[in-house]
Structure 1
Amino acid sequence: MLRKITFGVIWLGLIVYAFVFAPSEQPGTFELIKNLSIGQWQGIDPLIIALFNLMGIWPLVYSAVVFIDGRGQKIPVWPFATTSFAVGAFAVLPYLALREPNKKFIGNKNIFLKLLDSRITGFILTVASVILVAFGLQGGDWGNFVQQWQTNRFIHVMSLDFCLLCLLFPALLEDDMARRDWKNPQLFWLIALIPLFGPLIYLCVRPPLLEGDAKAISSQQQLS
């Protein structure tokens, strides 16, 4: 219960901060979002371009875990996962507050779950993230980014959202490792403490999820 309350309080605090205490909205924000979305990046700081696109990578990283986690939940996972593509942690936090601990996977993987569970998916997301980070760091203007972070609500909240998604991933990591019979505390903390690339590396190296029948076979083999 304490876990649920904590995530709920963080969610409410994020909403209040974003709409009350964050810097005021600047003219041209809608135009900026539109240009970022359709690839018209002329005149936009590469750091902002990279951050915006990384905020599209994060929901895919979470989807690779939450849709599997959602198989054993009473609440449907798809509304939270889908909405996270638009609002990031604002959608992830309610799911974390409402979900129950789930260390088992029941049934078999459909095509969608097989795709999310594939290491190839993790590899593609990792390569895309490396390109985006390199693009932002190589051509970005940190002085301009900091100034916009201090004065523009959209960029300020997007940056906060990115940081929260980095911090929240370990809340799902322990159960996902348990579903794969992967007990490695050192690896858990390594993944948890490396922002963005820790979760991405995890998706690249985690063992395939054992389906219901395979899990039973594995248990019988351990007992024999």
Structure 2
Amino acid sequence: MLRKIAFGLLWLGFITYAFVFAPDDQPDTLELIKNLSTGQWQGINPLVVALFNIMGVFPIIYSAVLFIDGRGQKIPAWLFAIPSFAVGAFAILPYLALRESNKRFTGKKDFLLKLLDSRFTGIALTLGTIILVGYGLRGDWGNFIQQWQTSRFIHVMSLDFCVLCLVFPALLGDDMARRQVKNPQLLWLISFIPLFGPLIYLSVRPPLLENSPEAVSTKQAIAN
């Protein structure tokens, strides 16, 4: 219950800050978003370009855990995972507040789950992110800080990045339990590395074991 309350308060606090205390919108925000979305990056700080694209990587990182975790939840994970591509942590935090602990996976992996569960997906995301970070490091930090101080879009997107880095470990305990990871300490430490920690985790985690509902029932009966 404390976990649910904490994530709920974090979500409400983030919304309040974004719409009340963050800097005002700039007149060119919609034009900036359109140019970032369509690849028209001329004249845009590479740091902003990299951050914007990394915020498209994060929903895939979370989806690689959420869609599997959601198999045993009362609430469908896609209701939160899909909107996260547009609003980031504003969609992820409610899921974290509403979900229940789920240490088992039952049934078979469909094509989407096989793709999200694949280490190759994690490796591909890692390589793509390295390229984005390398591109972003060419940017002007002074200009970025100025935009962070004056633009609600840049300001909130930056905080969104920080929140997504912060809360990812909340999903790891159950995900590792489903994979029967026996020595999770190293993976826990890795997960706290901003951005690249979750990517490394997706690249090295053991594959998810498939179980039919009947098999799970049999194991529970034997255990009892």
TM-score, normalisation: structure 2: 0.94
Alpha-carbon distance, 1:191 to partner = 2.0
* Distance across 1 between alignment mates of 2:110 and 2:26: 45
2:89 alignment partner AA: A
What SS does structure 2 have at the residue aligned with 1:24? coil
2:91 alignment partner AA: A
Alpha-carbon distance, 1:136 to partner = 0.3
- Aligned counterpart, 2:154: 155
Structure 2 residue runs without a partner (length 5+): 220-224
2:112 alignment partner AA: F
Kindly report which structure 2 residues correspond to 1:78-93, keeping only aligned pairs within 5 A, or say none. Answer: 78-93=78-93
* Distance across 2 between alignment mates of 1:71 and 1:88: 21
* Distance across 1 between alignment mates of 2:112 and 2:71: 12
Identity %: 74
Alpha-carbon distance, 1:205 to partner = 0.5
1:206 alignment partner AA: R
Kindly report which structure 2 residues correspond to 1:76-115, keeping only aligned pairs within 5 A, or say none. Answer: 76-115=76-115
Q: Contact between 1:174 and 1:188, CA under 8 Å: does it hold in 2?
A: no
* Distance across 2 between alignment mates of 1:191 and 1:64: 17
Q: Contact between 2:187 and 2:201, CA under 8 Å: does it hold in 1?
A: no
Q: Contact between 2:176 and 2:184, CA under 8 Å: does it hold in 1?
A: no
* Distance across 1 between alignment mates of 2:34 and 2:70: 32
How many residue pairs end up in the alignment? 218
CA RMSD in angstroms comes to 1.8
- Could you report, residue by residue, the CA deviation over 1:118-175 in whole angstroms, capped at 9, with x for unpaired residues? 011101100000000000013x000000000011000000000000000010010111
Structure 1 residue runs without a partner (length 5+): none
Q: Contact between 1:118 and 1:208, CA under 8 Å: does it hold in 2?
A: yes
Q: Contact between 1:25 and 1:154, CA under 8 Å: does it hold in 2?
A: yes
- Aligned counterpart, 2:63: 63
* Distance across 2 between alignment mates of 1:104 and 1:33: 40
1:43 alignment partner AA: G
What SS does structure 1 have at the residue aligned with 2:42? coil
Question: Which portions of structure 1, spanning 4 or more consecutive aligned residues, are displaced by more than 6 angstroms?
Answer: none
1:67 alignment partner AA: F
1:202 alignment partner AA: Y
2:83 alignment partner AA: T
- Aligned counterpart, 1:145: 144
Kindly report which structure 2 residues correspond to 1:1-224, keeping only aligned pairs within 5 A, or say none. Answer: 1-138=1-138, 140-212=139-211
* Distance across 2 between alignment mates of 1:187 and 1:116: 22
- Could you report, residue by residue, the CA deviation over 1:63-83 in whole angstroms, capped at 9, with x for unpaired residues? 000000000000011110000
